[in-house]
Chain A
Amino acid sequence: MKPQPMVLKVLNVVSVLLFLAALGMVFLYAPLEATMNYVQKIFYFHIATAWVGMLGFIAAAVAGVLYLIKHDQKWDIVELAAVEISLVFFLIAIAAGSIWARPTWGAYWTWEPRLTTAAILEMIYIAYLLLRQGIDDPDRRARFSAVYTLVGAISVPITFMSIRLFRTIHPVVIGTNSAASQGSFDMTSKMLATMFFALFAFSVIFVNLFWHRIRLGQLAQQVEQLKLEELQ
């Protein structure tokens, strides 16, 4: 494996520090919210991890299209890295959201548009990984993955809008506190600052993880090429 470039080593340290700083801000700097108290604090990381998931989603879609246009294997590595990161971070976001939802809405899960779309997106990611698992030829695997990424990426916004249509025309009472289930609350400037800092910290963490995962993908590609050469 190529040794880590200096920038990456610095980024590792910076990421950890930013994460700790964000954690500190959440617990020490941000004020307690009026009605929800400590439960509300998970909101900062929930938004940040969902944001990272979105970044990964967009990166995967772009990488998929670029692979189909250029047929360069490196875009396949980028795409897989983006999908894996997005999968994990959306999962964290869903878990964090569920923890927040239970005391607030009375249920861990509701079938409202964003949650349902997140669940469907996770299923698409898992399908993507299963698809890759079933193909041995690297070129075919890259092509099929790119095609499925494209199909999935286009379907997700359409899915979100169709669920929104579904739920607005036939409103469903969600749990005990449907007014609060809209999910927004007024934020003071300290809360906003904490939220934006968390977003920034997690964006840096995303870049860091993305870089590491791409390096890992390159190593895996080298191993696979060696294996294929050995078999011949």
Chain B
Amino acid sequence: MNRPQTTDRRPSSVVRRPSSGFLKAIAAIVWKDLAAELRSRELLSAMLVFALLVILIFNFALELDPVTRRMATPGILWATFAFAGTLGLNRSMAVEKDRGCLDGLLLAPVDRSAIYFGKTISNLAFMLIVEVVVLPVYSVLYNTNLFNPGLIVVILLGSVGYVAVGTLLSSMAVQTRTRDVLLPILLFPVVIPILIAAVKASSGFLQGLSLTEVMPYINLLIVYDVIFTAVAYMVFDYVVEE
């Protein structure tokens, strides 16, 4: 008689142990988000389609000749990433709240900051996946070569900072009445240094400026990332406690 395949194939890192280590907890949360996303694909598809639509809108909003468009590329890219990132941050936290996952995570005997780092890393993964798709599409649609190692570094640093603050603020926003609407209002004023530095650094790399000219902006990105990851790590407890 054939037995139906019902064995639990979850990796052991997801199975709860009484005192999971800090890193194991982070890995578990990241794995949970990625696995859930792999099955449903609702978050990534929404973010991707939205990003592509934003690029489409920019094409009509800014009717540019090729030369001016080349100069506007970093701005368009980062505006796209910022809006799509908001979408991802909102959905990621809303899912946790609605399905009671957040309460479950809070009951687990791990440091609260593990939840923060786990969510931040998974949000970062989603944002990077969207960026990895958008770059080639933009390159093809606008006949611009965006495969520039400096640009990749800037996108990475900018995304880290964006997601570090975004995860903290979306944890707050999701617990209010206004929810989704509130996150962009809270996030965008605070994340402006990233946008400034990322656009300028991206522009510098795409125009082939020397590293010394671009370094101030890279430094700004790194400083911002470090400061805000530290601040978010320290205050996350206050945001999720009951």
Contacts and interface: CB of A to CB of B under 8 A. Distances in A.
Q: Do A and B bind each other?
A: yes
Interface of A: 68, 120, 123-124, 126-127, 130-131, 133-136, 140, 143-144, 146-148, 150-152, 154-155, 158-159, 161-163, 165-166, 169-170
B62 interface: no
A143 B177 contact: no
Contacts of B173: 131
B165 A162 contact: no
Given A120-B192, A135-B176, A155-B193, 16 more contacts: A68-B235, A68-B238, A124-B189, A127-B185, A130-B182, A131-B172, A131-B186, A133-B178, A134-B179, A148-B172, A151-B190, A152-B190, A155-B191, A158-B224, A162-B220, A166-B200
Given A135-B177, A144-B172, A147-B238, A162 B192 contact: yes
Nearest to B184: A127
A117 B239 CA distance: 27
Contact of A165 (B165, B169, B216, B228): B216
Interface in B207-242: 213, 216-217, 220, 223-224, 227-228, 231-232, 235, 238-239, 241
Contacts of B152: none
B190 A147 contact: no
Given A124-B190, A162-B220, A169-B216, A134 B238 contact: no
A131 B192 contact: no
A154 B227 contact: yes
Nearest to B191: A155
Contact of B177 (A123, A124, A134): A134
B238 A146 contact: yes
A166 B196 contact: yes
A158 B193 contact: yes
B154 interface: no
A161 B224 CA distance: 12
13 contacts: A120-B189, A127-B186, A131-B186, A136-B177, A151-B168, A155-B189, A155-B190, A155-B228, A158-B227, A161-B220, A165-B196, A165-B216, A166-B200
A146 B235 CA distance: 10
Contacts of B228: 151, 154-155
Contacts of B45: none
Interface residues of B, number: 36
A142 B175 CA distance: 13
A175 to B, nearest CB: 22
Interface of B: 165, 168-169, 172-173, 175-179, 182, 185-186, 188-193, 196-197, 200, 213, 216-217, 220, 223-224, 227-228, 231-232, 235, 238-239, 241
A169 B190 CA distance: 22
A159 B193 contact: yes
Nearest to A124: B189
A147 B196 contact: no
A158 B182 CA distance: 23
A152 B165 CA distance: 11
A162 B213 CA distance: 15
A87 to B, nearest CB: 13
A131 B217 contact: no
Given A134-B178, A147-B235, A147-B239, A159 B168 contact: no
A134 B217 contact: no
Contacts of B190: 124, 151-152, 155
A91 to B, nearest CB: 15
A169 B217 CA distance: 11
A116 to B, nearest CB: 9
